[in-house]
Amino acid sequence: MIASLQAPFSCKDGMSERPSSAGRKSQDRAVVAKLLCGLALLVIIVDMVLNDMGSDPSTNDRSLIMETATVAVFMLVPASLLLMGSKRNSGNHRASTTSLRAGGVRHLLANLWAHWPLFLGVATLPVGTDTPHQKDTEGFADDPTKSGKPASSAEAARAARRAALLARRGQPSGEQAEFSADKSEAWTKPNTSAYNSVIHACMKSGDIGQAEALLTRMRSDGIVPDTVTYNILMDACVKADNAEAAERWLSRMFQEGVPADEVSYATVIHARAKMGAMAQAERWLQRMLDAGVEPNIVSYNSLIYACSRQGDVDNAERWVMEAEKRGLNARVTTYTAVVDACAKSGDMARAEKWMEKMREAEIEPNVVSYSAMIDACAKAGDPARAEVWHRRMLESGVQPNAHSFSAVINAHAKAGDVEAAFWHLTSMQEAGVPADVFAFSGVLDACAKAGNTERALQVFQQMRAHGIQPNVVAYASLARPFAHRGDWFEVERLAAEMAAEGLAMNEYFLYALLLAYASARPRQAARAEAAFCEARARGIEVNRHIFGALARAVGRSRCNQLTQLQDGDKDSHAAPVAGRGGMGGRSGGRGGTGPGVGHAHRP
């Protein structure tokens, strides 16, 4: 409490002033104690006056005694403790207590008013103890890269908090230089923890140059960077998607003889796994084991998650078993990553097996787990099983979110069940879960599969009415039912509207546009050719669906010529691949063999 009351004095005017000695603290405690005593005396006098004015002397006397006792406990006792602490800590730092600097009383009274509820517990705090409010300003106590070692003194901790606050506020380098000047002051002698706090703040604000400068200054002051210092630097590099920089810092740790811990290795493993560089991530894990550092589940989760993103179920399962062999307990995120890998590969049965394994391990699946499982059902084209898992989620007390609703909508969309998809969209809104563009796109995709243009327009208008800005996926889904009908005029209108909103055409909308030209009567070969050439000039890649729609619009021979003219020998090989895909003649027919554009594109 006392430390928080002193904060305005140390931070006033951009922290241009700072305490000069322990005597200042004793002086402030004494002033606070005197104010408390004065307030207590004033309350007692007012009580006595009101007591004399009362009509029932016996009742008023009892009331006066109770009120006086209350004031004594809650004001005089804390004041006495403050005075005792002031005398005990003053020692050789006695200073005049007859004056405060300009504006001090005003700040003190303001803090008394702001922190009055904390005075109720001040009697239980030893003098000089940090309050919970003060501990909250530590900033980095709960950071996973911190070693958890306390600072050597309260003064060093205050210096760290002050410097970290400067970094978070984005103060110019001159303020950081002030921190350097503070080192020579007796009241603040930075240690490793103080420097780590400032470096952490700089990295968090993106000021990597300042953090490196502080690291150099740290060495020049004879303070050796520790494992936590380097872990902070590596973590910031990973968040900036700079795996190479993270590896350089770890190599520097080795060169300087700073021991790397499980967090150090887990950070670079995560950096490489995040990029999909599995071979390099595995090499760092092996190097970790060779160094005698036992990996934790976080390291294995990084590898499993990377396999999940690639749909590599076999390797995801391998890493889970490897972690279990080492006695590590898998978490809900571990199992969920494997389920997601199964979903991406369309292996519904395997995904269900891992959901059951999760329950056998007495780990409750969360909403992400259920969403991944529903995704697996959608990929397998089984909306009935998607409904089963959606009900299980609700029965388990897990609250659905936008992603889980979008997953079950997508399952019905792939089956072309407009009513079921729309019902879940309505249920989503009734459950208080805000519908997003992905949920609406899923319903639009269902309308496209069913060729229901009227319902598609209604859903699109409803999306706009909810203030949701359509993206290119939504426009492509809306265009597809018109494309199946050969209504190229409406598809072109949607393309113009999309461009007016600043949305660039992608491969999904290009497919719908070419399909509209191919399905028109008569076919619009010239328009299809012009649209294809313009799209290729913009860098849109040709896939088998686009090739099939173009072949229908301009003919197979001309389609081959266009792809060769646009891409040379490289893309001339795309024609046979597309032909084997069976898109010619039936590309995007009613029922839709074209690309899906719904929930799968949720980031």
- Which residue carries 């997601």 as its tokens? 340
Please report the pLDDT score of residue 452 as a whole number: 92
In this predicted structure, the answer to whether residue 174 has a pLDDT above a threshold of 90 is no
CB 350 within 8 A of CB 314: no
Average pLDDT over residues 268-291: 92
Q: Kindly tell me if the per-residue pLDDT of 111 is higher than 50.
A: no
Do the domain assignments include residue 82?
Answer: yes
pLDDT at 518: 96
* Cα 287 from Cα 265, distance rounded (Å): 9
pLDDT of residue 63: 64
In this predicted model, which residue has the larger pLDDT, 564 or 574? Answer: 564
pLDDT tens for 318-349 read 999 999 999 999 999 999 999 999 999 989 99
- Whether residue 480 is contained in a domain is answered as yes
pLDDT of 260 reads: 92
Lowest-confidence range among 223-227, 426-430, 444-448, 567-571?
A: 567-571
Arithmetic mean of pLDDT, 504-517: 95
pLDDT(205) > 90: no
The pLDDT value given to residue 194: 85
More confident position, 389 or 193: 389
| pLDDT tops 90 at residue 418 | yes
Mean pLDDT of 275-292: 92
Looking at the domain assignment, is residue 71 inside a domain?
Answer: yes
Instruction: Give the rounded percent of residues in the chain with a pLDDT score beyond 90.
Output: 50
Show the domain range for 572.
472-601
Predicted confidence at residue 115, as pLDDT, reads: 42
- Average pLDDT on 95-108 reads 44
Does residue 186 surpass a pLDDT of 50?
no
Q: Is residue 171 included in any domain, yes or no?
A: no
Give residue 182's pLDDT.
47
Kindly report which listed range (79-88, 128-137, 187-196) carries the lowest average pLDDT score: 128-137
Residue 188: the pLDDT is: 54
- CA-based nearest residue to 407, from 434, 430, 441, 366: 441
Please tell me the least confidently modeled range out of 89-98, 301-310, 417-426, 484-493. 89-98
DSSP state of 328: P
Phi, psi of 593 (to 5 degrees): -100, 5
Residue 417's pLDDT is what? 94
Span 402-408, mean pLDDT? 94
In a domain, 447, yes or no: no
Weakest-pLDDT range from 120-134, 169-183, 560-574: 120-134
Report the Cα 589 to chain-centroid distance in Å: 42
Tell me what pLDDT residue 74 has.
Answer: 61
Given 108, 136, 164, the domain boundary residue is 136
Structure tokens given for 504? 């660039």
The H or E element containing residue 264 is helix 262-274
Of the three residues 95, 117, 136, the one that is the final residue of a domain is: 136
Alpha carbons 28 and 9: distance in angstroms, whole number: 10
Least confident of 343-347, 407-411, 541-545, 593-597: 593-597
Q: What is the pLDDT of residues 354-367, one digit of tens each?
A: 999 999 999 999 99
Question: Which residues have CB under 8 Å from 461's CB, separation 6+?
Answer: none
Confidence bin at 13 (pLDDT 50/70/90): very low
Q: What is the pLDDT of residue 407?
A: 94
**Chain segment 224-250, per-residue pLDDT in tens:** 889 999 999 899 888 888 899 999 999
Tell me the pLDDT band of 214, cut-offs 50, 70 and 90.
confident
pLDDT surpassing 70 at residue 2: no
The pLDDT of residue 209 is 81
Tell which wins on pLDDT, 566 or 223. 223
Q: Is residue 593 part of a domain?
A: yes
pLDDT at 578 exceeding the cut of 70: no
The predicted pLDDT at position 196 comes to 86
**High-pLDDT (> 70) share of the chain, %:** 65
In a domain, residue 98? The reply is yes
- Predicted confidence at residue 394, as pLDDT, reads 94
Q: Where a domain ends, among 136, 171, 206?
A: 136
Q: DSSP secondary structure string, 384-417?
A: HHHHHHHHHHHHTTPPP-HHHHHHHHHHHHHTT-
Mean pLDDT, residues 458-478: 94
Q: Are 156 and 246 in contact (CB under 8 A)?
A: no
In total, the chain counts a number of residues equal to: 603
Number of domains in the chain: 2
pLDDT at residue 119 in the model:
39
Confidence of residue 393 (pLDDT cuts 50, 70, 90): very high
Q: Please return the burial class of 13, using the count of CB atoms within 10 Å of its CB with bins 0-12, 13-18 and 19+.
A: exposed
Please report where in the chains the tokens 């003064």 appear, as a residue: 155
> Average pLDDT, whole number, for the chain?
76
Q: Is the pTM of this model over 0.75?
A: no
State residue 35's pLDDT score: 74
Cα separation, 97 vs 101, whole angstroms: 11
Which tokens sit at 320? 């889970």
Average pLDDT value for residue range 93-111: 45
Examine residue 123 and state whether it is found in any structural domain, yes or no. yes
Provide mean pLDDT across the span 114-135: 37
Cβ neighbours for 345, distance < 8 A, ≥ 6 positions apart = 311, 313, 379
Q: Which residue bears the tokens 């359509």?
A: 470
